[in-house]
Amino acid sequence: MRAAGLERTVGLVLGIGAMVSVGLLGIGVIGMGAAQVGPLDRPFLPFDLGRLPADLAGLKPTGFLWLGLLAVILTPSIRVIASLLGFAAAGERRMVAVAAIVLAAICLSAAFGAGG
């Protein structure tokens, strides 16, 4: 993959990620309005990946909101993976290592966060 092509591809990944995220969040917000759920209703249920499929299947606003939030937070990671693959295809070993370290740092954040 040529350098300029890589930049465009990575840009496209980010653009699609942003649109999908906002779309999912938008559906969740409309669901909040329809279900008369206030944004300040406390306490809120913290993120639980295991509950997500059931919430989505039940068309609950929280399901779409959490999926949208996950899409938001993971979009930059997907961009890093796309860059890593692009650099690997172009034979840029130094940048492959850089992308791998960035990805590792993000994974470490998730591990520290989940580890409590």
Rule CB under 8 A: which residues touch other proteins?
Answer: 4, 6-8, 10-15, 17-18, 21-22, 25-26, 28-29, 32-33, 36-41, 44, 46-47, 62, 65-66, 68-69, 72-77, 79-80, 83, 94-95, 98-99, 101-102, 105-106, 108-110, 112-114, 116
The pair of structure tokens assigned to 87 is: 């650099």
CB–CB of 29/67 below 8 Å? no
Taking the complex as a whole, how short is the minimal distance between the CB of residue 57 and other proteins, in angstroms? Answer: 17
Tell me if 86 sits within 8 A of 12, measured CB to CB.
no
Residue 80, CB half-sphere, CA atoms under 13 Å: how many? 16
Token pair for 42: 């406390």
- Least separation, in Å, of the C-beta of 77 and other proteins? 7
Residue closer to other proteins by CB (options 40, 57) is: 40
